[in-house]
Amino acid sequence: MTTSKLHTTTSVSEGKRLQASASYNNVDGILHLVNKKLIFTAKGSKNPMISVPLSDLKQFFVSKPDKPDPKLKIKLFSDVEHMFVLTTSNAKESLGKFKIELQTLISKQRSGHASNASSRVTSAAPSPKPRNGNAPSPSSGASSPALRKTAPTAEEIALRVELLSRNAELAKLHQELVVGRFITEEDFWETRKHLLRDEAAKTEQKKGRSSTVPDLKPVTEEGGDVKIKITPQIIHDIFEHYPSVKKAYTENVPHNLKEEEFWKRYFQSKFFHRNRSNADRMKNQQKDDIFDKCFAEDEDELVHGPKKIRLDRLNRLIDLSMTAEDHLENGNEPDITMQPGTGKSLTLLRKFNRHAERVLKSSLSEKPMKPKDSPSDYTQKKGYKDEIIIEDLDADEVQPRILLNINDSRRYFESQTGTSLNDIGQNEQFPTSALTNMKALFADWHPDLRKPIRRPVSSQVTQMLNKSIKDRNNLNARQRSLEMKIPPALEQQVMNIHSASKEFLRHFWSTVNSTAPERIEKNKRMVEQIRKTLERIDEVAETAGEDGKVVRLMFKHMEAALRNALVVRQAASINGKRKRAQ
């Protein structure tokens, strides 16, 4: 008898839970309890001798603790029984663990797949049975209507309306399904949360200020009159852009000048025309005391730079004068080409900079400039510290991870697929003589390349290949010719039914395995709708006359999907009844 240890692992590896040495029909081996299966492997063999999915397990019995050999008996739905005798040193203890583990697993399974599990009948053959899962498990859960019974808020409704008005296709579907009372409003949106989220994000984004420089182009009318239209908005822009003009306006309007007069003079002034390249006009300007003053002020600021920059409030991190050490060769002296008087470029640059600053400021208008406290405080406090930290240079934090430890990846994938493709080869008894035969065959083998392919085979192959080429060409040709031409109205109808069916199916599958009462109710409604849709397809196909065939063809797969849903439903309800009867 081997001494083998029993250990429980909580890791996810292969879903392994328990193992203990045991004997079955006097064969020694190891009994595993994997997540989904109870497996007995004979000693020295890698293939499981018995492998029972827990879903096939009907009952299990363990011997009483006071009996000499601890036994585990399992009974399957197929009424096959297996008896294991635990041979571990601490057999009684491990038997207890098996008992507890089996109980929890089975109860979990029963409650999880209540409808599925009861229908299983399997032989005790070691090959694992393909899972009974023809119904994909519903992916919902977070969004069950049971949890969300509250009525939608006004914002949500507004969002929905907005979305529908923008998306014509969705609107049509909504019209079809919800207004036609096939599914409820809530159900309709439940599966479209992502659309609503996108829409919400879109509406939340506000439009910033336009960054164009206010520039008025005079329109020359018949007779040579020049006309410029101004609106309050334009005036606002001008004031904002040229504070000197605003100053002049408040000083002179209305007691010195009428508003109309003011603007007239403005548009004639040197100030207004300075950006335009019509230099000759500049020469002809009359003197204008108001705007010449503005012009002088503005120009002065542009040429000499803004007068008051508070150097003590500067953020040291972006203070260019403080980084002289970084530029030892040429320092960071002011660029001499920026000296005033070197042409128009400087004033133009300053103007653009000022404009850009204004646009940027308008977008962060509400936020106060950063440190209110004195600059020395700022340096001392964590303000700079925070800013000089570069994330990329930080050491990586070690995330607590659990290593996935797979001893035998073969079994892992087997449990993933449910059906083991590999069993095709694995469980067949390959004669070991195959190996020796092969060895003998190739021990002294020299290829003889002169063997021809004989007549019947060669012509068969040619025929087959020709046929497959022909088939392929035909298929291509047919696909080209079969561009389905049906009347637009009919096409519309087909499209509508199609999208509605998709919707019904989606709701159907999301509720098919659910146990919550309102979901069962919903599922029933969907089944009803699916039935009706099938009738509608028939109806449309019949009334279409000539095109009926095409319509049928178009619905071929959709019909199959719908029927499949009905079949699944029927199977599930039969199961349910049987269970209740039991």
Q: 474: Cβ–Cβ under 8 A, 6 or more apart, which residues?
A: none
Which one, 239 or 413, has the nearer CB to another protein?
Answer: 413
Q: 506: Cβ–Cβ under 8 A, 6 or more apart, which residues?
A: 191
Instruction: Say how far apart CA 4 and CA 20 lie, in whole Å.
Output: 7
Q: Number of C-alpha atoms within 13 angstroms, CB side, residue 421? A: 3
Burial class (CB in 10 A: 0-12, 13-18, 19+), 140: middle
- 58-117 residues in contact with another protein (CB under 8 A) are none
User: Cβ of residue 128: shortest distance to another protein, in angstroms?
Assistant: 12
By CB under 8 A, which span of 19-27, 92-100, 386-394, 464-472 interacts with another protein? 464-472
User: Cβ of residue 460: shortest distance to another protein, in angstroms?
Assistant: 5
- Choose which of 330, 432, 479, 582 interacts with another protein (CB under 8 A): 432
Q: Which residues pair with 18 in a beta bridge?
A: 33
Instruction: Say how far apart CA 346 and CA 326 lie, in whole Å.
Output: 26
3-state secondary structure of 320: helix
- Choose which of 434, 481, 489, 557 interacts with another protein (CB under 8 A): 434
Which one, 44 or 343, has the nearer CB to another protein?
Answer: 44
User: Cβ of residue 319: shortest distance to another protein, in angstroms?
Assistant: 50
Q: Is 422 in the site for another protein (CB under 8 A)?
A: yes
Q: Is 144 in the site for another protein (CB under 8 A)?
A: no
Contact 30, 20 (CB under 8 A): yes
Q: Is 424 in the site for another protein (CB under 8 A)?
A: yes
Question: How far from the centroid of its chain's Cα atoms is residue 442's Cα?
Answer: 56
- Choose which of 405, 458, 543, 570 interacts with another protein (CB under 8 A): 458
User: Cβ of residue 468: shortest distance to another protein, in angstroms?
Assistant: 6
By CB under 8 A, which span of 135-143, 160-168, 417-425, 551-559 interacts with another protein? 417-425
Instruction: Say how far apart CA 480 and CA 157 lie, in whole Å.
Output: 46
- Choose which of 287, 367, 446, 557 interacts with another protein (CB under 8 A): 446
Ranges assigned E (strand) in 456-545: none
Q: Is 461 in the site for another protein (CB under 8 A)?
A: yes
Q: Is 279 in the site for another protein (CB under 8 A)?
A: no
User: Cβ of residue 413: shortest distance to another protein, in angstroms?
Assistant: 4
Whether the bond into 456 is cis, omega within 30 of 0: no
Burial class (CB in 10 A: 0-12, 13-18, 19+), 488: exposed
Short-list 73, 67, 63, CA closest to 96: 63
Which one, 112 or 133, has the nearer CB to another protein?
Answer: 133
Instruction: Say how far apart CA 167 and CA 580 lie, in whole Å.
Output: 47
- Choose which of 5, 46, 276, 524 interacts with another protein (CB under 8 A): 46
Cα–Cα separations (whole angstroms), residue 46 to 15, 405, 435: 18, 19, 20
- Choose which of 224, 343, 447, 517 interacts with another protein (CB under 8 A): 447
Cα–Cα separations (whole angstroms), residue 197 to 186, 190, 340: 15, 12, 54
Q: Is 448 in the site for another protein (CB under 8 A)?
A: yes
Which one, 44 or 223, has the nearer CB to another protein?
Answer: 44
By CB under 8 A, which span of 239-247, 307-315, 378-386, 454-462 interacts with another protein? 454-462
Which one, 127 or 140, has the nearer CB to another protein?
Answer: 127
By CB under 8 A, which span of 235-243, 333-341, 418-426, 485-493 interacts with another protein? 418-426
Which residue in the block uniquely carries the two structure tokens 């192959």?
461
- Which ranges constitute the DSSP H helices of 242-344? 243-252, 259-268, 270-273, 279-283, 289-304
Q: Spell out, one character per residue from 465 to 504, where the chain touches another protein: x when CB under 8 A holds, - when not.
A: x--xx--x--------------------------------
Residues at the contact surface with another protein, assessed by CB under 8 A = 46-47, 409-410, 412-414, 416-417, 420-422, 424-426, 428, 430-432, 434-435, 437-439, 441-443, 445-449, 451, 453-454, 457-458, 460-462, 464-465, 468-469, 472
